[in-house]
Chain A
Amino acid sequence: MFTRRTIVGIAALAAITISLSACSSTATPTASGAADAKTATSVAAFGDMAGLVKAANAEGALNVIALPANWANYGKIIAAFKKKYPKITVNSALPDGSSAEEIKAAVDLAGQNTAPDVFDLGPAVALASTAKFAPYKVSTWDAIPAANKEKTGLWVNDYTGLMSVGYDSKVITTAPKKISDLLGSAYRGKVAINGDPTQAGAAFAAVGLAAIQNGGSATDFQPGIDFFSKLNKAGNFLTVDPTPATIAAGETPVVFDWSYNNLAQAATTPSWKTVVFPGSAYGSYYNQAINKDAPHPAAARLWQEFIYSPTAQNLYLAAGAFPVQIAAMDKAGTTDKAAQATAGKMPSTFVSPTAAETTAAGALLTAKWAAAIGK
């Protein structure tokens, strides 16, 4: 008797699943040109820019994911996009999600009209997920240095920051001049990093910076782990996850984070100061990519065109992030001078680990991090 009931249950479940997937398949936009948009590799497939805008307007929506409003000015970038294309609704999902969660959402929601259209990914996830991307070359393709893009346009670097230390100048009255200053007693219970380095890119970069500032390199993260272990033993390391709220509340007075995040914090916490230590700098580009199964393929491509337009690139710069086209923009004279003053000058070189180095450092951190910062 029970087995029969189980079979009935499974049959009911199967029926539900089928009807759900039936729902989602009808939700996929059937606007004219949608089939073309899915495979379009440049604006030429739509005729011209006006054609792309028309196709995107017909779709009427764009799903972005993991774009916090206070991260590299994404709040303003989304607002500017909405203003320029008022017929497109921007749905921003999971603003505090990680890069891995962006890909996970694309897999979990595949075929539904809530799936993400575009990604903004850390390098490790971007390189591991190229099978999920649709190649697309924006109209400013030539302004992007060759080293900053996949040659068919599967992914393209968008902006980078430098790993920096932000601090509340009301609590820490003398600015730290070198990384070892943070080991002093003035920093007892005050120093946090943005996430767990075995999980979050920004935290991973904090350990990377500590490594290169303490005699290590992109291939040798051990000195960075040792530094945080020392920081922890001194009682200075704070294991709370810093957010704009914890910073405003004074709970996290010293934070390792990307320069654009620390610079942006000054808007809400005026006493928040940002330091990039002299010596080797550490940076890492984020990457734009289009979801291969984007429910709004034309809007996704329009977003890419917008991201690589001077408007959005200058908004990155105004937040303190260096946009990938900065050299070309300087040449063309489209760089926003006020934004340039906020961000400072981009260093000619900075350390940025390769995919292989990231994997090796990740394995090292998985084995050693928990023990290094354990009590």
Chain B
Amino acid sequence: MTSDAQSPAVLVAGAGVFPRRRRAAGSRPRRPARRFASWLGLTPFALYVLIFLAIPTVLAVLSGLVDAQGRFTTSALSALFTPEILKTFASSFWVSAVTAIVGAIVGALVCYALLGLRPQGALRSMVDSAASVLAQFGGVMLAFAFIATIGSQGLITLLLQRTLHLNIYANGVWLYDVPGLLLPYIYFQVPLMIITFMPALEGLKPQWAEANATLGGTRRTYWLRIAGPVLAPSFLGSLLLLFANAFSSYATAAALISQGAQIVPLQIRGALISETVLGRSNVAGALALGMIVVMVVLMWAYSALQSRTTRWQR
């Protein structure tokens, strides 16, 4: 337990492995200097986080609490609870949840299939590198790729129409609405799942399966009692990562959806740059605050889950 409590600090300190080993050797006098050095090593990262994450976040949130004249107001915050905005939060949740769950399950299955291949094999390294590239393939390029393939004049759309007489847009074009986000999002969620979940699967030791077999366990008990519990935290962690990834995605949605600002990031855009409805930039700040609250709750749930599962993982 005590080592558990210490491990985050060691992790944060960067080159965490070395101090621990040296401490075992017991060279006491040099300790403060070393500690200082390890804090110093953290400085660039801490500065980076401060300048590009902490300060912008605080500024964005503060902008939600003042009006155009710089006076404190809660009117933007109360705008968060109007039915229109609550609806966009609901669609954001819906899209993120569906694409995270589908992405996680499909990605995990692909990882499992990859386990059967030689780690140095051509196919395996090809899937690995393709996954790392495609996980970052979002935004306008991805939106355009989908417009060109399954847009109303897209290659596949027309092919289906001409060969199978199947019109995927018989009831109107859905690609440019919230349901239209599902396919493009899953397109980058699955590869992200593969790159985040694969190391966990690779960590399964063959000895555990052998021990299970020796003790008379079945394949089912292996997955249910050993692999399942061992993988659960990293699976759920990846799931939350995927959810957060979809929840904060902006560019793909911005390129596809132009009407109604149906998800939260698009509402923020609307509040910031509208040329017809003015003076709502503080609503953008309030919306950002709403998104941060969601993220904080997600991360808190993740760490609570993590500390619970690591207890019996060791």
Contact = CB atoms under 8 A, between A and B. Distances in A.
B262 to A, nearest CB: 7
Contacts of A246: 147
A146 interface: no
Given A5-B39, A250-B153, A98 B273 contact: yes
Given A196-B259, A251-B153, A99 B84 contact: no
B221 to A, nearest CB: 46
B277 interface: yes
Interface in B237-279: 256-262, 269-270, 272-279
A106 B178 CA distance: 34
A370 B260 contact: yes
B275 A98 contact: yes
A373 interface: yes
A251 B147 contact: yes
A351 to B, nearest CB: 16
Contacts of A361: 276
Interface in A238-260: 238-241, 246, 249-251
B233 interface: no
Contacts of A236: 172
B172 A188 contact: yes
Contact of A238 (B46, B173, B260, B276): B173
Given A9-B50, A240-B256, A199 B39 contact: no
Contact of B270 (A10, A199, A235, A363): A199
Nearest to A197: B276
Interface stretch (A22-30, A122-130, A303-311): A122-130
A101 B273 contact: yes
A236 B173 CA distance: 9
A124 B278 contact: yes
A204 B278 CA distance: 13
B152 A189 contact: yes
Contacts of A367: 84
Contacts of A374: 260, 262
A104 interface: yes
A104 B46 contact: no
A373 B261 CA distance: 11
A107 to B, nearest CB: 10
B169 interface: yes
A239 to B, nearest CB: 4
A97 B274 CA distance: 10
Interface string A176-209: 0000000000001100010111111101100000
B252 to A, nearest CB: 13
A172 interface: no
Nearest to B87: A370
A55 B276 CA distance: 36
A58 interface: no
Nearest to A126: B275
B94 interface: no
A189 B173 contact: yes
B171 A240 contact: no
How many of chain B's residues touch chain A, expressed as a range?
Answer: 35 or more
Given A125-B278, A362-B277, A195 B258 contact: yes
A180 B88 CA distance: 31
A370 B47 contact: no
A372 to B, nearest CB: 9
Contacts of B43: 5, 8-9
Nearest to B283: A366
Interface in B159-182: 169, 171-179
A83 interface: no
A363 B46 contact: no
Given A249-B153, A251-B151, A189 B276 contact: no
Interface string B110-128: 0000000000000000000
A159 interface: no
B160 to A, nearest CB: 15
Contacts of A6: 46, 50
B126 to A, nearest CB: 32
A137 B131 CA distance: 60
A246 B256 CA distance: 12
B274 A98 contact: yes
A373 B89 CA distance: 17
A369 interface: yes
Contact of A366 (B152, B172, B179, B277): B277
A238 B55 contact: no
Given A104-B272, A198-B274, A238 B47 contact: no
B109 interface: no
B297 interface: no
Contacts of B276: 122, 124, 197-201, 203-204, 358, 361-362, 365
B172 A235 contact: yes
Q: Of B171, B269, B275, B277, which is in contact with the most chain A CB atoms at under 10 Å from its CB?
A: B275
Top 10 A-B pairs, shortest CB-CB distance: A241-B258, A235-B172, A362-B277, A99-B275, A239-B259, A370-B260, A239-B176, A199-B274, A204-B276, A240-B176
12 contacts: A5-B43, A104-B272, A104-B273, A122-B275, A196-B270, A199-B276, A237-B172, A239-B260, A363-B277, A365-B276, A373-B259, A375-B172
Interface of A: 1, 5-6, 8-10, 12-13, 97-101, 104, 121-122, 124-125, 128, 188-189, 193, 195-201, 203-204, 235-241, 246, 249-251, 358-359, 361-363, 365-367, 369-371, 373-375
Interface of B: 39, 42-43, 46-47, 50-51, 55, 84, 87-88, 147, 151-153, 169, 171-179, 256-262, 269-270, 272-279
Given A199-B270, A373-B259, 20 more contacts: A5-B42, A6-B50, A9-B46, A98-B273, A100-B273, A100-B278, A121-B275, A122-B275, A124-B275, A195-B258, A199-B275, A199-B277, A200-B275, A201-B276, A238-B152, A240-B175, A240-B258, A249-B153, A366-B84, A373-B260
